[in-house]
Amino acid sequence: MIWGVLQFPGSCDERDALHACTLASGEARLIWHEDRDLEGIDGVVVPGGFSYGDYLRAGAIARFSPAMEAVAELADAGGPVLGICNGFQVLCEARLLPGALLRNEDLRFVCRQLDLLEVDGPETGDMGGDSAHRPLSIPAKHGEGRYYAPEPMLDELEANGQVAYRYAPGQNPNGSVRDIAGVRNESGNVLGLMPHPEHAVDPLTGSTDGLRVFRSLERFAA
């Protein structure tokens, strides 16, 4: 499978994402934000950083880029789309994922290794359930990662199996509602999370659990 990794002015994790995609799935290339052509790309990563300086709200301007139009089309067609950190914010702003990300509850930037629990979705098959797999050890680094959605929407997300990752008990770093670290769309092909799986792909840095996140979307590649 070939991943495309978007690059906005202000992206900063696109190189790690490229490396992670290559390790996880075999091949990856960068896509400039003004490029609307996803020819030959099976799935897209919207990486972390501060796209367009995070002006107005994180992700608010990036969602209007030509590359994001192409990503929306890929998402609608059922192709895999993974948003990490700022990429998660962009996907929420683009309404490809439900909810929004707000300033961390304590107003502090958080940077630490955390445990994430995988939550089963309708399309995740072999993930094996909340308790069947040990928690994923993945770092988080963000100042605006407090996941928010209104209560009725949260109930609906849980009923649909759209909560993808939760912070392990006692490790919620930002005040996210219901400890939510990541969500997926209804069909499961669009996934976003605040922690950084692309920084957890090599034993040298302590964990390779991030690879699981990339591979969980491979089933959606055409």
Partner 1 sequence: MRVLIRPKEGILDPQGKAVERALPALGFEGVEHVRVGRMVELEAEDPVRLAELCEKLLANPLIEDFEIQTL
Question: From the CB of 105, what's the least distance to partner 1, in Å?
Answer: 6
Cα(35)–Cα(220) distance, integer angstroms: 23
CB atoms within 10 A of CB 142: 23
Q: Does the active-site annotation cover 198?
A: yes
- Cβ-based nearer residue to partner 1, 66 or 122: 66
Structure tokens given for 73: 């089309």
How far is the C-alpha of 222 from the C-alpha of 218, rounded, in Å?
9
Return the number of the residue (12 or 60) whose C-beta is nearest partner 1.
60
**Smallest separation, CB 70 to partner 1 (Å):** 19
Known active-site residue 85: yes
CB under 8 A, 24+ apart: contacts of 179-183: 180/99, 180/147, 180/154, 181/114, 181/116, 181/140, 181/147, 182/88, 182/116, 183/97, 183/98, 183/99, 183/147, 183/157
Binding site for partner 1 (CB under 8 A): 56-57, 60, 64, 93, 99-100, 102-107, 148-150, 175
Q: What's the min distance (Å) between Cβ of 101 and partner 1?
A: 9
Return the number of the residue (43 or 99) whose C-beta is nearest partner 1: 99
Query: Could you give the residue ranges of the DSSP H alpha helices within the chain?
Result: 14-25, 66-76, 86-93, 151-159, 210-215
Three-state DSSP class for 58? coil
Q: Is 92 a catalytic residue?
A: no
Nearer to partner 1, 50 or 147 (CB): 147
As measured in angstroms, the least distance from the Cβ of 120 to partner 1 is 26
Backbone angles phi, psi at 140, to 5 degrees: -120, 145
Enumerate the active-site residues.
85, 196, 198
